[in-house]
Amino acid sequence: MNRTNLTVLIPARLGSSRLPNKPLADVAGLPLIVRVAQRVMAGTTARVVVACDDDSISMVCQQHHIEVVLTRADHPSGSDRLAEACDILQLPDDAIVVNVQGDEPLIDPDLILQVAKVLQNQPLASMSTAAHAIESVDDYRNPNVVKVVLDAQNLALYFSRAPIAWWRDGAKQGVPELPVTPRALRHIGIYAYRVGFLKQFPMLPQAEIEVCEALEQLRAMWYGHRIAVHVTDKAPGAGVDTPEDLARVRIVFAPNKAN
């Protein structure tokens, strides 16, 4: 896919309970949001746009020649911010956008393209995402590791914080083992959307199962939309949610480190 039919939207919100002013946090001399945008721009030919909620973020993006749109500050979710950005940019309903979080400076640009491609090639799907195989029982049991089960066309059947698929004959004394087949898959939080669906999505009422699992993608499935999944062999790079995460990323981007 190329710049003419793919837009990467990077939502950036100034407020963060765990890491205040996170988009502007210094990472080896550049703001975090700039690091994320530059990594995407260096690895793809897609149009890259930051969708922010504050003039300070907009200013640093402009200073580093990154396209940016200023959205409302009161959006309840990132998908609402992305939908407004699509309106501002006047993107057609059949265009594809990929949501890359503004705290992922180690994102693999190839993953962005693969998630977009799997949606482009799957007409049954309104959106797409990614997953990779789980290698440890601890991750399989961890409710903070979201799991996904797929059908024969690599369309999601369900996402859950519970260990799925459950290997009935592999559980010993109530302790699960990783299923041999199908492989247990960890969901990676990157999404591609058809613009027409993305504009519609924030207006859909929350689904009970979405609230129960605290997984927004279940709303799409609740209303009959399909989600295509790209299965990758690579685990994603670490995001920045805490001061400790920020310290680790700063080491990666330190001047004496190779890119």
Measured CA distances, 21 to 32, 49, 63, 176, 189 (Å)? 10, 19, 18, 41, 22
Question: Residue 65: which region, alpha, beta or left (left: phi > 0; alpha: psi -120 to 50)?
Answer: left
What's the fold here for domain 124-189+203-236? Spore Coat Polysaccharide Biosynthesis Protein SpsA; Chain A (3.90.550)
Q: How far apart are CA 167 and CA 148, in angstroms?
A: 14
Q: How far apart are CA 11 and CA 17, in angstroms?
A: 16
**Is 0.85 surpassed by the pTM of this model?**
yes
225, 126 in Cβ contact below 8 A? yes
Q: Which of 92, 93, 103, 154 is nearest to 129 (CA)?
A: 154
pLDDT, position 142:
93
Instruction: Read off the pLDDT of residues 129-171 as tens digits, 9 standing for 90 and up.
Output: 999 999 999 999 999 999 999 999 999 999 999 999 998 888 7
Residue 252 burial (CB < 10 Å; 0-12/13-18/19+)? middle
Q: Which of 92, 82, 94 is nearest to 8 (CA)?
A: 82
Q: How far apart are CA 7 and CA 189, in angstroms?
A: 17
pLDDT, position 236:
79
What's the fold here for domain 1-107+237-259? Spore Coat Polysaccharide Biosynthesis Protein SpsA; Chain A (3.90.550)
pLDDT, position 169:
82
Show the tokens assigned to 186. Answer: 């960890």
pLDDT, position 14:
86
pLDDT below 70 — which residues of the chain? 1-4, 17, 173-175, 256-259
CATH 3.90.550.10 boundaries in the chain = 1-107+237-259, 124-189+203-236
227, 118 in Cβ contact below 8 A? no
Positive or negative CA dihedral for 171, 177, 180, 185?
positive
Q: How far apart are CA 58 and CA 164, in angstroms?
A: 41
pLDDT, position 220:
96
- Amino acid identity, position 153: Q
Measured CA distances, 153 to 141, 149, 231, 252 (Å)? 26, 11, 12, 37
pLDDT, position 256:
63
